[in-house]
Amino acid sequence: MARLVLVILGKQGAGKGTQCARLSARYAIPHVSTGDILRGAVKAGTALGREVAAVLAAGELVSDELVNRLVEERLGRPDAAPGVLLDGYPRTTGQAAALDEILGEAGVSLCVDLEVPVELAVVRLSSRRVCVECGTIYRESDPEAVSGTCSKCGGDVVRRVDDEPEAITARLSAYERDTAPLLDFYRSRGLLVGVDGTREADEVSAAIEQIVAARGLA
């Protein structure tokens, strides 16, 4: 079976993290997000990690060129040989083109766009709470959110600054602006599929798995 490379797109609050965790277990391939790559490189103290640390320490944004190199390094690890779920990368058509070069002839298997209306995304994000240590996401009604303590690692569970209403609106606007060309990029290659992200998580997972199976990807 060919390497399974799934790019997962969707507005903030669309459920990308939830679906990537499920699909990672289903297909036994790693869930790789841009944030994970950056944190992992810095923690590992690799040459690229030191470059990232220096950029972040200076309060600057990590360049596309550096992110592309980090992704290439991550995809070269043994656990990514069978495939990978990419969350938060690519973010631009330039990064998408770089990803094609990294992957070579096989390329991206499928790009899944989790579709949710802005109104629902705002509701989901404003009720989200996150562990500052391990990144586990909770709903505001979950015991961990109420107590402020993560059940997985004991870290503090908080409402992130970028999940405040004003920040949410700005982030969603930026996503719509920046991602539209990326959707066109994968649509023109016949790789883009839209999945209704408003349904229950189990139904969304089943829909993605059906599409993967129908295309003979796994």
pLDDT band at 6, cuts 50/70/90?
very high
pLDDT tens, position by position, 88-120: 899 889 999 999 999 999 899 999 999 998 888
Which pLDDT belongs to residue 62?
Answer: 82
pLDDT tens, position by position, 179-211: 889 999 999 999 999 999 999 999 999 999 999
- Of the residues 16, 22, 69, 124, only one is catalytic, namely 16
Cα torsion for 206, 184, 17, 41, to the nearest 10°?
Answer: 140
Which pLDDT belongs to residue 149?
Answer: 96
- Of the residues 11, 69, 74, 128, only one is catalytic, namely 128
Residues 6+ apart with CB under 8 A from 197: 10, 14, 15, 114, 115, 116, 204
pLDDT band at 215, cuts 50/70/90?
very high
Q: Residues of the chain with pLDDT > 70: what percent?
A: 100
How many domains, the chain?
1
22 given a catalytic annotation: no
pLDDT band at 28, cuts 50/70/90?
very high
What span, in angstroms and rounded, lies between the C-alpha atoms of 113 and 98? 20
User: Which CATH number does the domain housing residue 172 bear?
Assistant: 3.40.50.300
Selection from 165, 15, 7 nearest residue 173 by Cα: 165
Report the length, in residues, of the chain. Answer: 218
pLDDT tens, position by position, 159-185: 887 787 778 888 788 888 888 899 999
- Of the residues 43, 50, 152, 160, only one is catalytic, namely 160
128 given a catalytic annotation: yes
Which pLDDT belongs to residue 112?
Answer: 97
Which pLDDT belongs to residue 83?
Answer: 96
Q: Which domain holds residue 89?
A: 4-214
